[in-house]
A = this chain, B = another copy of it.
Amino acid sequence: MFARVVRPVLTLKLTTLLVAALPMLTLVQSVASAQGRSRIGEFTLANGMRGVVVSDHRAPVVTHMVWYRVGAADEPPGVSGIAHFLEHLMFKATDKIPAGEFSKIVSRIGGQDNAFTGHDATAYFQRVAKDRLPTVMKMEADRMVNLKLAEKEVLTERDVILEERRSRVENNPWAILDEQMSAALYQSHPYKIPVIGWMHEMAKLSPADAVAFYKQHYAPNNAILVVTGDVTLEEVKKLAEEAFGSIPANPAIKPRQRPTEPEHRAARRIEYHDARAGKPTLSRTYFAPSYSTAKPGEAEALDILMKIVGSGATSRLYQKLVSDQKIASSAGGYYAASGLDSGKIGLYAVPAEGQTLDAVEAGIDAVIAEVKEKGVTAEELARAKTGYIAEFVYESDNQATLARRYGWGLVVGRTIAQIDAWPEMISKVTLEDVKSAAEKHLDVRRSVTGRLVPVADGKTPVPGRT
């Protein structure tokens, strides 16, 4: 029934966009011009629903997104997976739309739709011809508060998410290691719990759980409307007023407040054995700030640092471990910067044929020690800045990416001004900023190091058994 609709559990990965080395000056001018061309505007309805519009009249299409300030990290203890489950159930019936028809209607009017759930946000979006915007907006408004969840449909859909977990996690040793590492990295914060949920808790999710979560979190004052494309601010504001304006605010919705992490004091290690893993892998994640929690400029410095250390074939990890020493067949790293409550830094390497996990870990440690001690070079810094600013410009040309940028930013509490200032902030990062960020945040005491070892270990883990 949902074959056409792919609704991924959101995982953040650094886009590995290959960027031509454009001169810096041109790029900063392009940023200004891209923003000028975008004509960004925002409004807030009387019921508290925020709206952001990015006009782009080059083609008669629009991307329409509704973002909710709720994700897996807002789930009650023991009810893991309910945020993502509800995202699936949002494609069930209202009084106006029969179960399973939502995506078919969008498809019939020539559009595409999708949805995703992360730890901090849940979003629904459609891309349609501009004259279909009122239709999809009314459909989104309808399911914001009028969802009807028949028990049988809920239980059938539960089988779908269980199968989704089986195929995406249980059949993927790397995903299992990643889950176990997150569970060990976070000491208190719900980011430790996977977005899709723990199998044994997903299996018990009930219609009542879904209804309670829906009523608690889905309301206009917890939603952000983002429309990009061939529309004006005034047009969208009028349509939004018509579609969403009559839905009352839920006064029980308060700013989110989750447990914060205690100090991380001891390096952790995990070893996961799974005969299905083709190759061993070394993975390390460090607890770090995000754009929402970092001191000014710090997240930008981490972005620069990790581009230099881990992004692509020119990165230090790849150059040292793969190209020079030939001890790894792949190596890299990333900075996941978008969390509401924290971010994380990740590093990984796969040993080359005949090489060991110990060897690649020592190689990674040497790269980290060097960057902490000596920082990066002026040339690396300039290249990283150029790369990011170019990515920003190119991504600004894509309706969906642009909508996602503003939706995500607003959901985690940033302002449009902050989001737009990113290239400027990136351009200000100094060599000293990068070195300080490395010294402070590549601290093994705040890390977990994971090893995926392709051995049988007596028995293969059986999902769902304890």
Interface residues in chain A, defined as those with a beta carbon under 8 Å from any beta carbon in chain B: 77-78, 80, 176-177, 180, 183-184, 187-188, 190, 192-193, 198-201, 257-273, 445, 450, 457, 461-466
Give the oligomeric copy count.
Answer: 2
Q: Which residue of B lies closest to A461 (CB)?
A: B265
Given A183-B188, A187-B192: A267 touches B257 (CB 8 Å cut-off): no
Q: Are B183 and A263 in contact (CB under 8 A)?
A: no
The 5 closest A-B pairs by CB, nearest first: A78-B259, A266-B272, A183-B187, A269-B269, A198-B262
Q: For A199, list chain B residues within 8 Å (CB).
A: 262-263
Q: Which residue of B lies closest to A272 (CB)?
A: B266
Q: Which residue of B lies closest to A177 (CB)?
A: B266
Q: A201 vs B259: C-alpha distance in the bound complex, in angstroms?
A: 8
Q: Are B258 and A200 in contact (CB under 8 A)?
A: no
Q: Are B188 and A198 in contact (CB under 8 A)?
A: yes
Q: For A80, list chain B residues within 8 Å (CB).
A: 188, 259
Q: Which residue of B lies closest to A185 (CB)?
A: B184
Q: A266 vs B200: C-alpha distance in the bound complex, in angstroms?
A: 17
Q: For A262, list chain B residues within 8 Å (CB).
A: 183, 198-201, 466
Q: Are B188 and A193 in contact (CB under 8 A)?
A: yes
Q: For A461, list chain B residues within 8 Å (CB).
A: 263, 265, 445
Q: A269 vs B270: C-alpha distance in the bound complex, in angstroms?
A: 6
Given A80-B188, A176-B265, A183-B187: A200 touches B270 (CB 8 Å cut-off): no
Q: Which residue of B lies closest to A264 (CB)?
A: B466
B198, B200, B263, B268: the one contacting A466 at CB < 8 Å is B263
Q: A267 vs B259: C-alpha distance in the bound complex, in angstroms?
A: 26
Q: A123 vs B386: C-alpha distance in the bound complex, in angstroms?
A: 63
Q: Are B268 and A269 in contact (CB under 8 A)?
A: yes
B177, B263, B466: the one contacting A464 at CB < 8 Å is B263
B184, B258, B450: the one contacting A78 at CB < 8 Å is B258
Q: Are B257 and A78 in contact (CB under 8 A)?
A: yes
Please list 22 pairs of residues, one from A and one from B, whose beta carbons are closer than 8 Å in the complex, sorted by A's number.
Answer: A77-B259, A78-B257, A78-B259, A78-B260, A180-B187, A180-B268, A183-B188, A184-B184, A187-B192, A187-B198, A198-B262, A199-B263, A200-B260, A201-B262, A260-B466, A263-B464, A263-B466, A265-B461, A266-B271, A266-B273, A268-B269, A268-B270
Given A183-B188, A184-B184, A198-B188: A77 touches B258 (CB 8 Å cut-off): yes
Q: A263 vs B464: C-alpha distance in the bound complex, in angstroms?
A: 7
Q: A328 vs B377: C-alpha distance in the bound complex, in angstroms?
A: 49
Q: A176 vs B457: C-alpha distance in the bound complex, in angstroms?
A: 32
Q: For A465, list chain B residues within 8 Å (CB).
A: 263
Q: A29 vs B261: C-alpha distance in the bound complex, in angstroms?
A: 53
Q: Are B266 and A267 in contact (CB under 8 A)?
A: no
Q: Which residue of B lies closest to A342 (CB)?
A: B466
Tell me the smallest distance from the CB of A294 to a CB of chain B, in Å: 12
Q: Are B263 and A463 in contact (CB under 8 A)?
A: yes
